[in-house]
Amino acid sequence: MKIYDVEGFPNPARVRIALAEKGATDKFEFIPVDFMGGEHRREEFLKKNPSAGVPVMELECGTCIAECTAITEYIDHSFEGPNLTGRNPKERAVIHMMNRRAEAGLLDAVGAYFHHATPGLGPDLETHQNSEWGQSQKMRAQSTMAYLNDVLAEQDYLAGAEFSMADITAFAGLAFADFSKVDIPLYLNHLNAWRARVAARPSCGG
């Protein structure tokens, strides 16, 4: 099986963390995509993912799966190890809810700021920028950080007592915030303490 990605990009990092949590990293061949060279926009890659994004998982049968949540679902149900997406309907619903909040409100919002309100990946790739939109998404990201801090004041992880896909997404979102110079306020002590605990996990570089 193959994973097409760009090491160090936030969404590929989510999948790599999930694989490490399940002890399945060695089950895949990682194929780097020349994003800066526009490889993701070429016909061959677009056949794998019409959205032109990474990562993309290609199964042995040739099926290609894009979108981090879908890829993580496949990983979670294919390999032994800690559960990342829920064991019953309630757990699954809560994890997916919190994952989406972290994704849309934090990671994607930081991404919108990076691509619209900064030079981003450069003029060859950032062809339709809207600075005002980007700045509004920076504020959304910081508002989401405050919301996540409140959640973590009541529980150890974003979806409850156990580490899950939602935590992976938020952790990647904060790393992207660092890279994009979106401040993570120090007074968000619950969020910062949670981040330190997650960073100590072997899957996250600890």
69 backbone dihedrals φ, ψ, rounded to 5°: -60, -45
- Banded pLDDT at 36 (limits 50, 70, 90): confident
What is the C-alpha separation between 60 and 2, in angstroms, rounded?
Answer: 8
Residues 39-56 pLDDT 10s: 999 999 999 999 999 999
Taking the model in full, what pTM does it have? Answer: 0.96
Query: What average pLDDT does the structure give for the chain?
Result: 96
- Closest-CA residue to 165 (of 191, 203, 205, 137): 203
pLDDT of residue 63: 98
pLDDT of residue 206: 81
- Banded pLDDT at 203 (limits 50, 70, 90): very high
Domains of the chain with bracketed CATH: 2-78 (3.40.30.10), 89-204 (1.20.1050.10)
pLDDT of residue 127: 81
pLDDT of residue 92: 98
What is the C-alpha separation between 183 and 104, in angstroms, rounded?
Answer: 18
**Which of 1-10, 97-106, 121-130, 166-175 has the lowest average pLDDT?**
121-130
What is the C-alpha separation between 71 and 68, in angstroms, rounded?
Answer: 5
pLDDT of residue 128: 86
What is the C-alpha separation between 70 and 57, in angstroms, rounded?
Answer: 10
Identify the helix (H) or strand (E) that includes residue 137. Answer: helix 131-152
Residues 82-131 pLDDT 10s: 999 999 999 999 999 999 999 999 999 999 999 999 988 888 887 888 99
- Closest-CA residue to 165 (of 85, 90, 65): 85
What is the C-alpha separation between 96 and 64, in angstroms, rounded?
Answer: 22
- Banded pLDDT at 199 (limits 50, 70, 90): very high
